[in-house]
């Protein structure tokens, strides 16, 4: 790992911990993504994390606060775009016909995409609006 990659990993640490401290499991390799998608039979929330401002101010807070809903995903996982590139690309490979965007959020079950919130439905929205999108999806898919 070169000095730049090490620096960026250090900068991103609190952004990772915000989700892992809330119960999200990080998937850092394509193999971890494949294993999760193969074995997961319950509704799961996938957060494609990033260092951008809308991830910090909107996506991560909305994902965390949405978990207060009575109905919610059984499993919580995250991949980090721009950091764990291969794992992120592998997760995105399960989202057929969806343009890559980060941050973004998805509900998956049995290796299949159930629901997707792209960056365009995060950036420029209020945290409460994103929470509402997620809780509506939880009520339908969980």
Residue ranges covered by each domain of the chain = 25-141
Res 114: pLDDT: 97
> What is the fold of 25-141?
Glutaredoxin (3.40.30)
Q: How many CA atoms lie within 13 A of 133 on its CB side?
A: 23
Q: Which listed residue (52, 91, 131, 134) is catalytic?
A: 52
Report the greatest alpha carbon distance in the chain: 45
Which uninterrupted H or E stretch holds 112? strand 112-117
Instruction: Give residue-wise pLDDT tens across range 36-64.
Output: 999 999 999 999 999 988 899 999 999 99
pTM of the model: 0.95
Q: Which listed residue (54, 56, 67, 113) is catalytic?
A: 54
**Cβ neighbours of residue 53 under 8 Å, at least 6 residues apart?**
none
Q: CA 135, CA 83: separation in Å to the nearest integer?
A: 28
Whether residue 142 lies in the annotated active site: no
Q: CA 26, CA 93: separation in Å to the nearest integer?
A: 17
Query: Token pair of 119, please?
Result: 């960056």
């Amino acid at each position: 790992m070169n000095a730049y990659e090490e620096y960026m990993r250090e900068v991103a640490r609190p952004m990772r911990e915000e989700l892992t401290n809330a119960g999200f499991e990080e998937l850092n390799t394509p193999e971890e993504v494949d294993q999760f998608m193969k074995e997961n039979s319950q509704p799961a929330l996938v957060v494609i994390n990033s260092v951008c401002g809308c991830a910090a101010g909107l996506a991560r807070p909305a994902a965390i606060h949405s978990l207060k809903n009575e109905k919610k995903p059984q499993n919580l996982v995250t991949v980090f775009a721009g950091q764990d590139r291969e794992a992120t690309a592998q997760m995105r490979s399960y989202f057929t016909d969806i343009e890559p965007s980060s941050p973004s959020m998805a509900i998956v079950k049995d290796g299949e995409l159930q629901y997707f919130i792209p960056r365009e439905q995060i950036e420029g929205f209020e945290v409460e609006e994103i929470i509402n999108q997620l809780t509506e999806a939880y009520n339908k898919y969980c």
